[in-house]
Structure 1
Amino acid sequence: MWSLQSTSYSALSGWKNDDHGAALAAFRRQSLKPADVSYKTGKIGIPPDALDPLIALSQKEDAIKNPRLFFEDNFSVFRLVSTDGKRGQVTGFYEPEVQAQHFKDSEFSVPLLRRPDNLIALNDYNRPATISADYRFGRRDEKGNIVEYHDRAVINRGAIDHDALAIAWVKDPVDAFFIHVQGAACLKMTNGNTLRITYDGKSGHPFTAIGKLLVERGEIPKDRISMQSIRVWLSQNPDKALALMEENRSYIFFKETTAAKEEMGPVAAAKVPLTAERSLAVDRLIHTFGTPVFVQADSVNGSPFEHLMIAQETGTAIVGPSRGDIFFGTGDFAGQKAGAVNSACDFTILVPRGIGFDEPEVLLP
């Protein structure tokens, strides 16, 4: 169990030294959310419409001139504390940048697929008793019954039409796998164009971290596991690589997307462009998108990390009140930074003033 305990800005280590202007710039991007997009209220209880007037206020000159005062004047702070002394965890994610083309040939032969028409979103009304509540998607079989969707291995072997569904083709199955893990990519097309893709559904199977499997099997020491060490292992073990990747049965489908401007980050779950080291992936069942979160992590790329982040993305592996994924940007360098992050952390939630958060504790499951 976790509780939200009232605290003060003066009690937050690192708060005064943070770059509040960078945090404000990420928060201001909430104004780019399309009008037809709505957020759900997370279990913490911050209603999305409570953030709307503050997003508007963040565009004003006063906020831009003094961003720290903007946050302190308009938000109260509540530390997330576990009743059993457990701490949170942060990892990193990024937007891979990979060469691709629109047609398949002998060199570009690995597809990145659109969401198929037969993928069915499951809910409490249509989910059969035979399918676990963990599965969010399924399909109808030849008898019309809803069953589990095809998994990664079956899809790889042609259970659905790759040619009809491919957005683009890449060279390396390992590149494609990590695009699936990250849920987005910046594709540098051979015709000179740039194409961004983002998550648009999945097969429904639970995510399996292949890094954890490699540690359990003694292939990589626990203290050396990272995205980079996993990629090295896959390249050095081509006869085992495909089978290992297919143990992660979850398969991701994509759609084309664009940022408001070319230089901005990818548009993710909150439907706004992400900002490097200021956008945070959270458990969307607990946190409301657009909420500022002050993250205090023990070590991120060799240094303490004390940054005000904005909840703007989610992820299959991001589960729990104090579990986060820091966005590091686009390309290989961002990937190197993201892949090395796995740190204990503490979350402090910034709650809009005046919405009834006067109670000293709010218990979370």
Structure 2
Amino acid sequence: MRCLRPVLIVLGLSAPLLPAPISAAVPVPAPALANASLRPIGFHDLPGWGEDDQAAAFRTFLVSCRALARTPDEVGPTSVPALVPGLIRACAAARALGTPTPTARVARLFFEANFRPYSIVPEGTPAGFLTGYYEPEVDGSPVRDADFTVPIYGRPADLIPTAPPQDSNRGGAQRRQGDALVPYYDRAEIEDGALAGRGLEIAWLRHPVDLFFMQIQGSARIRLPDGRVLRLNYDGHNGYPYVPVGRLLIQRGLVPREEMSMDRIRQFIEADPAAGRALMRENRSFVFFKAVPLAHGAGALGAQGVPLTPGRSIAVDRALHTYGAPIFIAADLPLAGPDALSPFRHLMIAQDTGSAIVGPARADLFFGAGTEPGAVAGRIRHPGAFTLLAPRFQADAAP
């Protein structure tokens, strides 16, 4: 019986020897994903599955399980709930293991027993597409002075989103002008002072490009002169669609496609401030922030309301995917430098989203906070293979 007990726990099956009861299992129907076909495959068909450290993915999965059990205080736009019943069941099986740090082998058995892999084949394209993101860390000031002149704005009270709260990072935004509703101020109008004097300034930065990259990433850590670190999170935008300025630089022949990165964008903006300012204004979208508590060692918060794990958390299209779902990514990426590709074969957990993350096989890989993760994230614009791990079982809803 001692040999049977771990197997039953990993499989998520009820047994008298379990430390806590798990409800009867009901098989989950094959999942569906808009604009893609899902092809069932075996775990042995996943390149690099046997070499990955699934224990790291297991720990990140447990973080999502906490959000499924209790809604966090800071939650972003919601994802589709299609896989939630199955994920709740898998979370119960994960907790039944009795440890948040199983061995890689036990973690691998857990995922193989509780999930079924489906290769995501997007319509019209041969592969998925990956980018990277990170949490910027920049110097700032709580007050304006000669060095810090670029304001970070909180959400204005007159901002009226045209989309429901669960779609807050998409859709338009308006403001009232007399008896009419008109589009909200765009980036140029805000930079020219449309919001000045309202007391919306949270902090001040040295350079406009720092704010621009903060708005692309959706969060930041601001190092204040007194040693404190201010954590800022996304709190809405002005309703204009996001325009990737890197694509504009490529189209105009200003930066070769193979050299495009966030570092190259920064170089262009800083080398010619007037041209850089005009470039940034072509992205009329403007993001607002709010200050949130920063616990020691805490990572950036994803839309699921949980701290993100570098190398294991991804942002997905929340209109298609479910937060907490495991997705295996296989790609060759420039992790060590811009001139060499390294194999990236990792089980990731969907915990975040973004307005530019659109499509069934589209993801942003989270690399952490600071300059080095930012350099790696800025190099990622590469194809990749996506495999959704859909739950095998969900709890029996019958009393």
Residue pair 2:90, 2:393 contacting (<8 A) in 1 also: no
Residue pair 2:62, 2:100 contacting (<8 A) in 1 also: no
- From 64, 89, 97, the counterpart of 2:101: 64
Residue pair 1:298, 1:304 contacting (<8 A) in 2 also: yes
Number of the residue aligned with 2:30 = none
Number of the residue aligned with 1:92 = 132
Question: Mean alpha-carbon deviation: is it higher for 49-58 or for 97-106?
Answer: 49-58
- From 23, 38, 44, the counterpart of 2:57: 23
Listed as ranges, the gaps of 5+ residues in structure 1 are 125-133, 357-365
What is the CA–CA distance in structure 2 between the aligned matches of 1:242 and 1:277, rounded to whole Å?
33
Residue 147 (structure 2) pairs with residue 110 (structure 1): no
Question: How big is the shift at 1:40?
Answer: 4.7
Aligned residues: CA RMSD: 2.0
What is the CA–CA distance in structure 1 between the aligned matches of 2:66 and 2:193, rounded to whole Å?
39
Number of the residue aligned with 2:385 = 346
What is the CA–CA distance in structure 2 between the aligned matches of 1:241 and 1:82, rounded to whole Å?
35
Residue 351 (structure 2) pairs with residue 315 (structure 1): no
Question: How big is the shift at 1:41?
Answer: 5.3
**Identical residues among aligned pairs (%):** 40
Residue 319 (structure 2) pairs with residue 285 (structure 1): yes
Structure 2 residue identity aligned to 1:58: A
Residue pair 1:185, 1:197 contacting (<8 A) in 2 also: yes
Number of the residue aligned with 1:231 = 266
Residue pair 1:257, 1:267 contacting (<8 A) in 2 also: no
What is the CA–CA distance in structure 2 between the aligned matches of 1:11 and 1:216, rounded to whole Å?
38
What is the CA–CA distance in structure 2 between the aligned matches of 1:262 and 1:283, rounded to whole Å?
30
Question: How big is the shift at 1:354?
Answer: 2.2
SS of corresponding position for 2:108: helix
- From 87, 108, 120, the counterpart of 1:51: 87
What is the CA–CA distance in structure 2 between the aligned matches of 1:41 and 1:135, rounded to whole Å?
16
Aligned residues: 343
Residue pair 1:57, 1:63 contacting (<8 A) in 2 also: no
SS of corresponding position for 1:304: strand
Q: Greater Rg, structure 1 or structure 2?
A: 2
SS of corresponding position for 1:309: strand
Residue pair 1:282, 1:324 contacting (<8 A) in 2 also: yes
What is the CA–CA distance in structure 1 between the aligned matches of 2:153 and 2:70, rounded to whole Å?
28
Deviations 1:120-150 (A, max 9, x none): 12138xxxxxxxxx7332222222x222111
Deviations 1:305-342 (A, max 9, x none): 11100101111110000000000000000001100011
What is the CA–CA distance in structure 1 between the aligned matches of 2:181 and 2:71, rounded to whole Å?
30
Alignment of structure 1 residues 1-365 onto 2, 5 Å: 1-33=35-67, 35-37=70-72, 40=78, 42=80, 45-46=82-83, 48-59=84-95, 60-61=97-98, 64-65=101-102, 66-123=106-163, 135-143=171-179, 145-161=180-196, 164-258=199-293, 261-301=295-335, 302-355=341-394
Question: Mean alpha-carbon deviation: is it higher for 315-324 or for 290-299?
Answer: 290-299
SS of corresponding position for 1:164: coil
Residue pair 1:75, 1:351 contacting (<8 A) in 2 also: yes
SS of corresponding position for 1:64: coil
What is the CA–CA distance in structure 2 between the aligned matches of 1:85 and 1:184, rounded to whole Å?
31
Number of the residue aligned with 2:3 = none
What is the CA–CA distance in structure 2 between the aligned matches of 1:189 and 1:62, rounded to whole Å?
39
